[in-house]
Amino acid sequence: MTHLADLPVWAAIPVALFLLLGAALALIGSIGFVRLRSFYERVHAPTLGTSMGIGFVLLASMLCFTVLQSRLVLHEILIAVFMVVTTPITLMLLARAALYRDRTEGSDDVPAPPPVPPVESAVPPAPDSAPPV
């Protein structure tokens, strides 16, 4: 049994648009995942598609159930917070683990490590030879 037939047209149109936009962003992320070649290129497209796509789907859900239940429904905000926090963290952990693995194996596909800046001497410079006045 569904109560979506009770959803007014003024609310159904934005809900449908948000769902389509979220699905389109998820599709773009999936296409990017398939088309890009290396792991380091592939890791970005699904992350961006997931973050923005789930945001629009959750916005559509919030709007739909707020209108149907005649009260403000905010449960989806908790899901959005978890997605926004965990997705970039997962991206960083996966990328760093892959980078470490590839560098220890000596892979040629790995980006070069950043140059190490020169370390300044801890000894203060010698004072001028002129005596103090």
- pLDDT for 41 equals 81
- pLDDT for 73 equals 85
Q: What is the CA radius of gyration of the chain?
A: 26
H-helix or E-strand containing 79? helix 75-105
Quote the distance between the C-alpha of residue 103 and its chain's center: 24
pLDDT tens, residue by residue, 6-19? 889 999 999 999 99
Distance CA 75, CA 62 (A): 8
Question: Residue 2 corresponds to which amino acid?
Answer: T
Neighbours of 46 (CB within 10 A): 21
Distance CA 55, CA 79 (A): 9
- pLDDT for 24 equals 93
Counting every residue, how long is the chain? 133
Question: pTM of the full predicted structure?
Answer: 0.70
Which parts of the chain sit beneath pLDDT 50?
Answer: 1
